[in-house]
């Protein structure tokens, strides 16, 4: 059995490298074959990544986060908790999503933005 330490305090857990991009995915997470997980990115916990999503750079997706429908998470961004990202949304630079926040509809969250609740949609651009 292959394991990987996601540096989240849980130690090494069963994991594999995603066939598209080579990034680490915990066996507890669900990542579609059509997703791209870049070599330095990772998906762990109970996260779901589906429908042509790209996670790359040093991005981290974990907890019960759900990513779908051609969204991008990259640079040093993180998506965790029960956060949802979908429909061509972008989360990048040092942005952090957690809690129950929803980002959808071509919205962008970037810079040092840190969101934990609410909805960002309809092409909104959030930067902090």
In the chain (128 residues long), the average pLDDT of successive 10-residue segments reads 96 98 98 97 98 98 98 98 98 98 97 98 92
- pTM (2 d.p.): 0.97
User: What DSSP assignment string belongs to 75-117?
Assistant: TT-EE-TT-EE-TT-EE-TT-EE-TT-EE-TT-EEETT-EE-S
Nearest to 73 by CA among 96, 105, 45, 46: 96
Given this model, what pLDDT does residue 11 score? 97
Task: Give 76's contacts (C-beta < 8 A, 6+ positions apart).
Answer: 57, 58, 59, 93, 94
Given this model, what pLDDT does residue 93 score? 98
Given this model, what pLDDT does residue 111 score? 98
């Amino acid at each position: 059995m292959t394991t990987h330490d996601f540096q989240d305090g849980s130690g090494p857990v069963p994991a594999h490298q995603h066939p598209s991009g080579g990034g680490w995915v915990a066996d507890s997470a669900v990542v579609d074959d059509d997703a791209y997980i870049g070599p330095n990115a990772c998906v762990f916990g109970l996260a779901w990544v589906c429908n042509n999503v790209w996670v790359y750079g040093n991005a981290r997706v974990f907890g019960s986060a759900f990513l779908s429908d051609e969204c991008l998470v990259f640079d040093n961004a993180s998506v965790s908790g029960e956060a949802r990202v979908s429909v061509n949304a972008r989360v990048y630079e040092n942005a952090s999503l957690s809690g129950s926040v929803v980002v959808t509809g071509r919205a962008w969250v970037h810079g040092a933005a840190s969101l934990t609740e609410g909805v960002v949609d309809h092409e909104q651009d959030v930067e902090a």
